[in-house]
Amino acid sequence: MHFLDQAKIFVRSGAGGGGAVSFRREKFIEYGGPDGGNGGKGGDIVFEAVAGLNTLIDFRYTQHFRAPRGKGGAGSNMTGAGGEDLVIKVPVGTQVLSEDKEEVLLDFTRVGQREVFLRGGDGGRGNLSYKTSTNRAPRQHGTGWPSEEAWVWLRLKLLADAGLVGLPNAGKSTFINAVTNAQAKVGAYAFTTTRPQLGVVRHHDREFVIADIPGLIEGAAEGAGIGDRFLGHIERCQVLLHLVDANDEDVATSYRIVREELENYGAGLTDKPVVVALNKIDTLDEELIKALSEELEEASGAQVIPISGAAQIGVDWVLDELLAKMSDAADVVPDDDEGEDAVEWSPV
């Protein structure tokens, strides 16, 4: 399955059905009169977050969504049938953005979350509703309220508890393969990972989701390499695992490059708890490992865990630290005013 995390679509709710102009003409009824029913309501555009989806690829091939309009009213005071709501199913973690991508209109963070985005038009009034004591035979009727329409962007931010960051070829794919059921591509060249990967970690009778994103290089914020477009998938993570390749020429510089790109991206990524690990130590002797760890600790200001994803060295230690920091993060309750709340919105 191809991975797609952004898609632009057109949505339009259904217009209301027109009211009817009708008069009773029945045998043996002395007085007739208006009996035109109201039109039916148009269908709503509804977004629903469902389980089992982790890509927006379906929206590459279907980009226009139109809810049916309401049916017209009829005689005998019969109201027209309402148009069925059009339910658009999206993965959990999807955001609905305005056409200019400046405003978050809806944000889906849990399975089953269902939101009405565009409301269908109300049905028009039939001529029976216009009858008054002075207007006994009205012929006017309502045509039904018009539909609403908009172009919107869908943006997927994968929901994971921990996010993997580092330079290309830092061993992120090897690590996620070692600790989860993921089958990420591994190769001895940069940018082996070209799309985000998710895996489920089972450690100490607990489960959590870890996300691996393509590596960052200097200038990623300006589009160098694959750029920073996939950083959105770790915005919701509680903790980051920063892997540094022990074979790099300068491990401190490698660490700073990634941190600077996270800072340039923003979204509070540099404020998240981080676990720093010196990876691929199976190729080095103990003396060099100690020297590189001290150098990296000085640059990061954090404890450095020497590991090897390929040789399964230090992996349990890293997972213990991730669980500890996730527990600490869960104890912090944010203010109600904080966070990126969805706003009510309707096209003009």
70 annotated as belonging to a binding site for a ligand = no
181 annotated as belonging to a binding site for a ligand = no
198 annotated as belonging to a binding site for a ligand = no
Q: Integer distance in angstroms from the first to the last C-alpha of the chain?
A: 37
120 annotated as belonging to a binding site for a ligand = no
Other C-beta atoms within 10 Å of 139: how many? Answer: 11
What whole-number distance in Å separates Cα of residue 67 and Cα of residue 15?
A: 9
173 annotated as belonging to a binding site for a ligand = yes
167 annotated as belonging to a binding site for a ligand = yes
68 annotated as belonging to a binding site for a ligand = no
SS percent in the chain: helix, strand, coil, step 5: 20, 25, 55
280 annotated as belonging to a binding site for a ligand = yes
Task: Name, in order, each residue with C-beta under 8 angstroms of 109's C-beta and a sequence gap of 6 or more.
Answer: 49, 92, 93, 159, 236
310 annotated as belonging to a binding site for a ligand = yes
278 annotated as belonging to a binding site for a ligand = no
Torsion, Cα of 279, 281, 283, 284 (10° steps): 130
79 annotated as belonging to a binding site for a ligand = no
91 annotated as belonging to a binding site for a ligand = no
281 annotated as belonging to a binding site for a ligand = yes
172 annotated as belonging to a binding site for a ligand = yes
226 annotated as belonging to a binding site for a ligand = no
What whole-number distance in Å separates Cα of residue 255 and Cα of residue 161?
A: 22
Closest CA to 10 of 93, 91, 96: 96
54 annotated as belonging to a binding site for a ligand = no
Inter-CA distances, 2 with 186, 193, 325, 334, Å: 18, 13, 33, 35
Q: Which residues are annotated as a binding site?
A: 166-173, 193, 212-215, 279-282, 308-310
Q: Which residues are annotated as a binding site for Mg(2+)?
A: 173, 193
Q: Which residues are annotated as a binding site for GTP?
A: 166-173, 212-215, 279-282, 308-310
